């Protein structure tokens, strides 16, 4: 039962353009959402988060948008840089829960 | 601060053999997690500890997997006997927060151990 879904396994974007990574979830109990970035042979590293009381959170080039009614969130990277090339996982948790549920990841390639 | 240390980085074993992975969390982190990431999938929680007690092991295949966290610091995850479908990256993560808060604010992952069962 995949509670968090990333339907695009891969995405290619030109350097300087916007990258938009999407994530859908099914569990209405999820309150907190995070994005992790993973380089090959490394563990995931935390990138940005958003709670359900907000619909947008921004940190530098990274912005996460949350649409609770659609159970959808997206990560925008502007402008995209070659160093952003990695696998991006979205994850969700509930305040009353103990764990993150991860999506399957989207592999982003930023072309110089 | 030093990160989450895991060893070995890679391991290849034959099916039905046993294997153990080791994790040293960030100093002072009370909560420790083991995740399994199969190729093409997102990480899946196997077990989480709060200090040296188990908080959630509902997704741990207990007939073959075991884990312990002695003295609330280092942790080992063991598979005995291994099956082909256990081939995955095993990630350890830690958080200074309680289990619920760690799930909200994120935690720090190690680089993982890549297990190949042949």
Give B1-57 pLDDT, tens digit per residue.
Answer: 679 999 999 999 999 999 999 999 999 888 899 999 998 888 999 999 988 899 889
Average pLDDT value for residue range A85-92: 95
Dihedral class, residue A71 (left if φ above 0, else alpha if ψ from -120 to 50, else beta): left
Average pLDDT value for residue range B65-69: 96
Q: What's the start-to-end Cα distance of chain B, in Å?
A: 37
pLDDT at B103 over 70: no
Average pLDDT value for residue range A106-110: 97
For testing contact with chain A, the best of B43, B105, B111 (most A CBs within 10 A): B43
For residue B75 the two structure tokens come to 């942790």
Pairing of strands B5-7, A106-111: unpaired
What pairs with residue A20 in β-bridges? A76
State which residue of chain A sits closest to B100, comparing Cα positions: A98
Handedness of CA B19, A40, B91, A97 (dihedral sign): negative
DSSP assignments along A20-76, one per residue: EEEEEE--TT--EEEEEEE-TTS--EEEEEEETT-SEEEETTEEEEEETTTTEEEEE
pLDDT of res. B71: 83
Indicate the pLDDT class of residue B80, thresholds 50, 70 and 90: very high
What's the CA gap between A92 and B80, in Å, rounded?
31
**Helix H or strand E segment including B114:** strand B113-117
CB atoms B100 and A43 under 8 Å: no
CB atoms B103 and A99 under 8 Å: yes
Indicate the pLDDT class of residue B95, thresholds 50, 70 and 90: confident
Of B43, B104, B110, nearest to A93 by CB-CB distance is: B104
Q: What is the pLDDT of residues A19-67, one digit of tens each?
A: 999 999 999 989 889 999 999 888 889 899 998 999 999 999 999 999 9
For residue B73 the two structure tokens come to 């610091």
pLDDT of res. B100: 60
Of A51, A91, A99, nearest to B56 by CB-CB distance is: A99
pLDDT of res. B102: 61
Indicate the pLDDT class of residue B75, thresholds 50, 70 and 90: very high
Q: Which range among A37-41, A72-76, A92-96, B100-104 has the greatest average pLDDT? A: A72-76
What pairs with residue B65 in β-bridges? B79
Q: CA nearest B103: which of A76, A91, A111, A22?
A: A91
What residues contact residue B64 under an 8 Å CB cut-off, 6+ apart?
Answer: B79, B80, B81, B82, B83, B86
pLDDT at B118 over 60: yes
What's the CA gap between A53 and A6, in Å, rounded?
22
What's the CA gap between A6 and A89, in Å, rounded?
8
What's the CA gap between B69 and B65, in Å, rounded?
14
Q: Is B65 within 8 Å of B58 (Cβ atoms)?
A: no
CB atoms A32 and B104 under 8 Å: yes
For residue A87 the two structure tokens come to 């696998």
């Amino acid at each position: 039962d995949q509670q968090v879904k990333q339907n695009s396994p891969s995405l290619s974007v030109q350097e300087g353009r916007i990258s938009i990574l999407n994530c859908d979830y099914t569990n209405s109990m999820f309150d907190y959402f995070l994005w992790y970035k993973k380089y090959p042979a490394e563990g995931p590293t935390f990138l940005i988060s958003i709670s359900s009381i907000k619909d947008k959170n921004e940190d530098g080039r990274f912005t996460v948008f949350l649409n609770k009614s659609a159970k959808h969130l997206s990560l925008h990277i502007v402008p995209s840089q070659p160093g952003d090339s990695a696998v991006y996982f979205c994850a969700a948790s509930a305040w009353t829960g103990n764990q993150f549920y991860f999506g399957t990841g989207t592999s982003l390639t930023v072309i110089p | 601060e030093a990160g989450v240390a895991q060893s070995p980085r890679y391991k290849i074993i034959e099916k039905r053999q046993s294997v153990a992975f080791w994790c040293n969390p960030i100093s002072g982190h009370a909560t420790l997690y083991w995740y399994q990431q199969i190729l093409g999938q997102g990480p899946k929680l196997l077990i989480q500890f709060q200090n040296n007690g188990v908080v959630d092991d509902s997704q741990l295949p207990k007939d073959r997997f075991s884990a312990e966290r002695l003295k609330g610091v280092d942790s080992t995850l063991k598979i005995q006997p291994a099956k082909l479908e256990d081939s995955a990256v095993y990630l350890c993560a830690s958080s200074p927060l309680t289990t619920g808060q760690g799930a909200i604010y994120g935690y720090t992952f190690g680089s993982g151990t890549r297990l190949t069962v042949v």
